[in-house]
């Protein structure tokens, strides 16, 4: 039975057509994956279903009723719920409150805590989730928060659940658990639209796959036709320079002519706060050093301590044979160290500034023009922006466009672009390809290699082992705040690395 049908949907924004003649249908109890590069139109489509956007033309048919557009209210009444990529729960609430969000007052107007908690516990149990209803949301792990969001959707009697990149913050074990929960939902008759860049996962869980590219549907596959390479070719429309998942070829072709020099950065027994217990490593000139570990292993905190964003409690950091003490990121920026944070929306971009203003910010901090009241030369600002846009192939209407309307991949490119003009000597990237599609990932990998070839030393922190194996010369494995091993990527097995990271 067709639950949702989108017919010939077209959505225009100023200067761009986000969706063109898109048709999509979802059957009851079906897990339908929606894939495509960033900017292909996936999140636009989802926002139309959620009632946040209004289509320029086309029909929306939900449970037999026809609409020209939805509103969030109508969507909710129709049983549509969205579980977002970036977890948006309120840390100060307890689990039961989060589930009941919006429905708390019961009859007499007073909050009936006992009933709330018992109902919550029943729900959580029925979904197989081992989360205490009285626990504070802020104390849950990211994985648990994600599951909480799904539970909330179910609680609000959603039978059409849209999941946007639900596994981007989860470890392998947590992903397995999530899939169990999803299959559980499917058995209960809930239909799911599953958006993800992780194609092997899509292959595992989806009944159907719809592929979008540049706002159009370019492919539609059902269960037995699902093949990762086929999906990729529909998504990208061109041959990739690396076979998805196979890194040897990429390394061989791109890794020749590499010159790795002397040690530029040496960190010894770094300790900071609760998350960084004992970290030591060396970074050589022109090298790409990987940081690998599960989420929460202390990589981000280590990087933040190095650039001066977190306070160092103990240990030494030596840059070019000089002992350094950075009190704030200002100092590391001045010393030509670039930092691309994990959370681009929260820490990487300033939405009230436009594209060229964002990109040029760190460069202007450094260039000493006229002292503290230094004049901003528009000519220079343009140069910086154009340089980044060209090198990173950032898709944007103009160099002064807003950044909040860019796709995730393009936003990430802007954040990386901040450091390109800067004569950065060291570039630190924290999970730079999280939530980014294959095409943009490839562009970023190539860029990182080009930078390394030109003599820049790179620290690449990631929880995706394949990209570490493909891109890095050596890898420092993190486990609970310590660097437990440092391997030469060409001389180690995946198994060894995983073992070091998880035991």
Partner 1 sequence: MKNELFAKIWERFGTLIILLSLVLIVSMLSPYFFTMDNLLQVVVQSSIFMLIGMAELFAILTAGIDLSVGSVIALTGAVMAKMMSAGYGIFTSVLIGGIGLGALLGSINGALIAFTGLPPFIITLGGLTIYRGITLVVTGGRPIYNYPYEFNMIFAGQWKGIPSPIIVVLIAGIIMHIFLKYTKTGRNIYAIGGNEKAAWLSGVKVKTHLILAYTMSGLLSGVAGLIMMSRVGAAEPLAGNGYELFAIASTVIGGTSFFGGIGSVPGTIIGALVIGVINNALNILNVQTYYQQIVSGLVIIGTVYANKVLIRRGEQ
Binding site for partner 1 (CB under 8 A): 12, 14, 53-54, 307, 309, 328-330, 332-334, 339, 341, 346-353, 357, 361-362, 364-366, 369, 372-376, 418
Distances (CA, A) of 62 to 83, 160, 411: 19, 10, 33
Question: Smaller CB distance to partner 1: residue 339 or 478?
Answer: 339
Question: Smaller CB distance to partner 1: residue 207 or 310?
Answer: 310
Question: Smaller CB distance to partner 1: residue 44 or 191?
Answer: 44
Question: Smaller CB distance to partner 1: residue 173 or 350?
Answer: 350
The single-letter DSSP state of residue 398 is S
Residue pointed to by tokens 């990589």: 299
Q: How many CA atoms lie within 13 A of 123 on its CB side?
A: 23
Choose among 295, 397, 279, 283: nearest CA to 342. Answer: 295
The single-letter DSSP state of residue 186 is H
Measured from the CB of residue 253, what is the shortest distance to partner 1 in angstroms?
34
Q: How many CA atoms lie within 13 A of 202 on its CB side?
A: 30
Measured from the CB of residue 38, what is the shortest distance to partner 1 in angstroms?
20
Measured from the CB of residue 463, what is the shortest distance to partner 1 in angstroms?
21
Measured from the CB of residue 501, what is the shortest distance to partner 1 in angstroms?
26
Measured from the CB of residue 352, what is the shortest distance to partner 1 in angstroms?
3
Question: Smaller CB distance to partner 1: residue 247 or 335?
Answer: 335
Question: Smaller CB distance to partner 1: residue 20 or 278?
Answer: 20
Instruction: State phi, psi for 289 to the nearest 5 degrees.
Output: -100, 125
Question: Smaller CB distance to partner 1: residue 193 or 307?
Answer: 307
C-alpha to C-alpha distance for 46 and 66, rounded to whole angstroms: 17
Residue pair 77/71 in contact by the 8 Å Cβ criterion: no
Question: Smaller CB distance to partner 1: residue 253 or 334?
Answer: 334
Question: Smaller CB distance to partner 1: residue 196 or 363?
Answer: 363
Residue pointed to by tokens 């959620």: 50
The two structure tokens encoding residue 20:
């063109």
Measured from the CB of residue 402, what is the shortest distance to partner 1 in angstroms?
10
Looking at beta carbons, which pairs linking 98-105 to residues 24 or more positions away fall under 8 Å? 98/137, 98/148, 98/152, 99/123, 99/133, 99/148, 99/151, 99/152, 99/155, 100/155, 101/152, 103/156
Measured from the CB of residue 337, what is the shortest distance to partner 1 in angstroms?
10
CA dihedral 472, 473, 477, 483 (to 10 degrees): -130
Measured from the CB of residue 208, what is the shortest distance to partner 1 in angstroms?
30
Measured from the CB of residue 415, what is the shortest distance to partner 1 in angstroms?
9
Neighbours of 494 (CB within 10 A): 11
Measured from the CB of residue 54, what is the shortest distance to partner 1 in angstroms?
6
Question: Smaller CB distance to partner 1: residue 209 or 459?
Answer: 459
Choose among 220, 317, 330, 301: nearest CA to 265. Answer: 317
Measured from the CB of residue 469, what is the shortest distance to partner 1 in angstroms?
28
Question: Smaller CB distance to partner 1: residue 348 or 481?
Answer: 348
DSSP string, 439-472: HHHHHHHHHHHHHHHTT-EEEEEES-HHHHHHH-
CA dihedral 153, 157, 163, 166 (to 10 degrees): 40
What lies within 8 Å, CB to CB, of 341 at 6+ separation is: 347, 348, 415, 430
């Amino acid at each position: 039975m067709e639950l949702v049908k989108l017919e010939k949907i077209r959505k225009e924004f100023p200067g761009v057509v986000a969706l063109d003649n898109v048709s999509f249908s979802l059957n009851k109890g079906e897990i339908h994956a929606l894939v495509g590069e960033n900017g292909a139109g996936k999140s636009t489509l989802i926002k139309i279903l959620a009632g946040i956007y209004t289509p320029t033309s086309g029909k929306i048919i939900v449970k037999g009723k026809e609409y020209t557009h939805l509103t969030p209210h109508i969507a909710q009444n129709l049983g549509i719920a969205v579980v977002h990529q970036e977890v948006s729960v309120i840390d100060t609430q307890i689990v039961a409150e989060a589930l009941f969000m919006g429905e708390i007052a019961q009859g007499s107007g007073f909050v009936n805590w006992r009933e709330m908690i018992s109902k919550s516990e029943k729900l959580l149990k029925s979904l197989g989730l081992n989360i205490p209803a009285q626990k504070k949301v802020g104390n849950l792990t990211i994985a648990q928060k994600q599951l909480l969001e799904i539970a909330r959707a179910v609680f609000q009697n959603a039978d059409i659940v849209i999941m946007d990149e639900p596994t981007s913050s989860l470890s392998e074990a947590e992903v397995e658990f999530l899939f169990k929960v999803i299959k559980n939902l499917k058995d209960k008759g809930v239909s799911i639209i599953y958006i993800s860049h992780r194609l092997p996962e899509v292959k595992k869980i989806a009944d159907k796959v719809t592929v979008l590219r540049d706002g159009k549907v370019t492919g539609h596959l059902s269960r037995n036709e699902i093949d990762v390479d086929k999906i990729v070719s529909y998504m990208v429309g061109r041959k990739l320079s690396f076979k998805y998942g196979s890194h040897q070829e990429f390394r061989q072709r791109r890794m020749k002519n590499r010159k790795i020099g002397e040690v530029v950065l040496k960190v010894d027994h770094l300790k900071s706060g609760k998350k960084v217990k004992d970290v030591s490593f060396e970074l050589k000139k022109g090298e790409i050093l990987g940081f690998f570990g599960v989420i929460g292993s202390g990589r981000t905190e280590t990087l933040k301590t190095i650039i001066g964003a977190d306070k160092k409690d103990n240990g030494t950091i030596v840059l070019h044979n000089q002992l350094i003490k950075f009190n704030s990121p200002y100092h590391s920026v001045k010393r030509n160290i670039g930092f691309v944070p994990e959370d681009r929306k929260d820490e990487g971009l300033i939405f009230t500034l436009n594209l060229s203003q964002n990109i040029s910010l760190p460069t202007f901090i450094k260039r000493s023009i006229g002292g503290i009241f230094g004049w901003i030369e528009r000519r220079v600002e343009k140069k910086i922006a154009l340089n980044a846009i060209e090198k990173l192939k950032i898709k944007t209407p103009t160099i002064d466009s807003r950044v909040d309307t860019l796709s995730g991949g393009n936003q990430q490119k802007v954040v990386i672009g901040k450091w390109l003009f800067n004569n950065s000597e060291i570039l630190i990237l924290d999970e730079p390809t999280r939530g980014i599609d294959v095409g943009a990932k490839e562009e970023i990998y190539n860029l990182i290699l080009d930078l390394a070839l030109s003599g820049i030393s790179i620290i690449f922190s990631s929880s995706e082992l394949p990209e570490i194996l493909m891109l890095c010369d050596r890898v420092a494995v993190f486990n609970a705040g310590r660097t437990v091993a440092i391997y030469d990527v060409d001389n180690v097995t995946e198994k060894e690395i995983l073992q070091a990271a998880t035991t």
